[in-house]
Amino acid sequence: MKKKQKIFSKKKILIYGLGKTGNSSHLFLKKNNKTFLFDDIKKNLNVSKKFFINKKKIYKYNFDYILVSPGINIRKCSLKKFISKNLNKIITDLDIFYSHYFKNKIISITGTNGKSTTARILYEVLKDQKKDVRLVGNIGNPILNEKRVTPKTIFVIEASSYQLEYSKIFKANYAAILNISPDHIERHGNLNNYVKSKFKLIKNQNKSDFSFLDFKNKYLKKFLKQNKLKSKMINVHEKLFSENIEKIKNPYFLTNGNKQNFSFVCAISKKTRYPTFTIIKNNQ
């Protein structure tokens, strides 16, 4: 663990974007690194002024890493020329998180629709099992804000395409791509880039990890054929868990989208051995 932690220790790191993610990253990193802050929106620079760096000076520094917040579009931001020359240095808060907590159990959820719902259900399943579980990421609480983390802490992470696109080393033990449909094309440039960003969640895994996705999704088929994946691939479809779904009477869960979401919860729970009976019981 110490070796991985040193990746982001005693480094010069530019944190670009001072929303929740940027500020939490700064608080986490400043003790062991030399951090610099920048944001396109001037009013955000009122936070931690002594760490703020002028745009002109940025080009003079040789940063080790550039941590980009999800809200920054590197293709249209005020530092786009600087970023384009330093793409190999870009990281995210997910990378920082993974370098410190890679021994913890990590379950990560992405997809065009249903991320928050699926992540929330998984969190409730684990919480019901009396586990120390944290629900973090795109769903709300920045991942680096978590305190009192122990080796037994389990993380359920909702990951957006923006976070995944910029990440370098982050991976999850259990990774799910719920679905893919055309979305955020204006941000990613084209559909191929968007799917590619989602696909990074499973491409970074190794042979001891599990990937959950619908093999029939037409947007994922091409990437499945083109990439040699190391993780154990689990096909997820609501018909495979129809017996469990039929027990649920709550109309909220019976929409087509939530049937799919619950199927992923069932598939992940089966592999992690955390039963979903409480969710079923409470919604009969």
C-alpha 236/C-alpha 234 separation (Å) is 6
* CA triple 117-123-125, angle to 5 deg: 105
Pairing of strands 12-16, 210-213: unpaired
Judged by DSSP in three states, 79 sits in: coil
* Polymer length of the chain: 284
Q: In the chain, what are the domains? A: 2-91 (3.40.50.720), 101-282 (3.40.1190.10)
DSSP characters over 144-164: GG--S--TT-EEEEE--HHHH
Per-residue confidence in pLDDT tens, the chain, 284 aa: 445 666 899 999 999 998 889 999 999 999 999 999 999 876 666 556 778 888 889 988 899 999 999 889 888 899 999 999 999 999 999 999 999 999 999 999 998 888 888 998 899 889 888 899 999 987 768 899 999 999 999 999 999 888 898 899 999 999 999 887 776 566 666 777 888 888 888 888 999 999 998 888 877 877 787 778 889 999 997 666 666 666 776 666 666 777 788 889 888 988 888 766 556 655 55
Beta carbons of 37 and 45 less than 8 angstroms apart:
yes
Partners of 34 in the β-ladder: 12
- DSSP class of residue 168? S
Q: Residue 1 has what pLDDT? A: 41
Q: Residue 115 has what pLDDT? A: 87
Beta carbons of 29 and 96 less than 8 angstroms apart:
yes
Which amino acid, residue 7?
I
Beta carbons of 217 and 193 less than 8 angstroms apart:
no
Q: Residue 114 has what pLDDT? A: 81
Q: Residue 153 has what pLDDT? A: 96
The pTM assigned to this predicted structure is 0.88
